[in-house]
Amino acid sequence: MGGGVLLLSAMTFFLPLQIIVPIHGICQLTSNSSRAFFLKDKINKKIFAYFTVGAPFGTFAAVYLLKTLKNPDWALILMPVLIFYVLFKPKKLPKLKIPQWSFLIVGFIAGILGPLVGATGPFLAIFFLRDDLAKENIVATKAATQFIIHLIKIPAFIYLAFPYLDYSLLIISMALANILGTFYGVKILKKLPEMAFIYLYKSALLLAGIRIIYKIIAS
């Protein structure tokens, strides 16, 4: 959890900004598909189904925005706002525990953010921090939804003429490392206490929010 943002942040130190999101998408496609496969019995099928219906429509909108807007970085602002709402909200304010059908809307928004921002993990994470899902359900379902986002990003960037073949060696190397990391990550997850998982999850969200704010200010 939070690995997509950490990967995206690390890639900003080594790769040009204009190629990070398409390459990051394929790497995360591998990571999330393997994670969802290892935990396939724990996926919440209703949440996944609603999300899958909404996501492609959001991606169509994102392609239009990428073709018309000169600077889509404004989309980054939404992510830290939602992250800090979940982490630091007063107890009297309502939780973001939405009904399962609402994941259709979440899928649509994530479909927009995927090609624009790259890492949709912080946005999706806040909707999975809920007491009616066990830690395995959270990780499995979130991985499945992110798999859909990264899958539909590939034809979107092909349409936008991104030269994937020019970076094939880098993509394959990172994808293989992702699968290996996911394999061991799932083993650790099964041994991790529930409360420890929640603390680690919230810490990853906090770090992601701080990093995104830094990127907004620096850009």
C-alpha 149/C-alpha 119 separation (Å) is 10
| Helical pair 103-117 and 45-68, crossing angle rounded to 10 deg | 40
Name the 3-class secondary structure at 20: helix
- The angle formed by the CA atoms of residues 38, 105 and 18, to the nearest 5 degrees, is 70
Q: What is the pLDDT along the chain (219 residues), one digit of tens a residue?
A: 566 766 776 777 777 767 888 888 888 888 888 888 888 899 999 999 999 999 999 999 988 888 887 665 565 676 677 677 667 766 665 667 788 899 999 999 999 988 877 778 778 887 887 778 888 898 899 999 999 998 999 998 898 888 989 999 998 898 888 788 878 877 887 788 878 877 877 787 787 778 777 766 776
Global pTM value: 0.72
Closest by alpha carbon to 38, among 199, 190, 210, 161?
A: 190
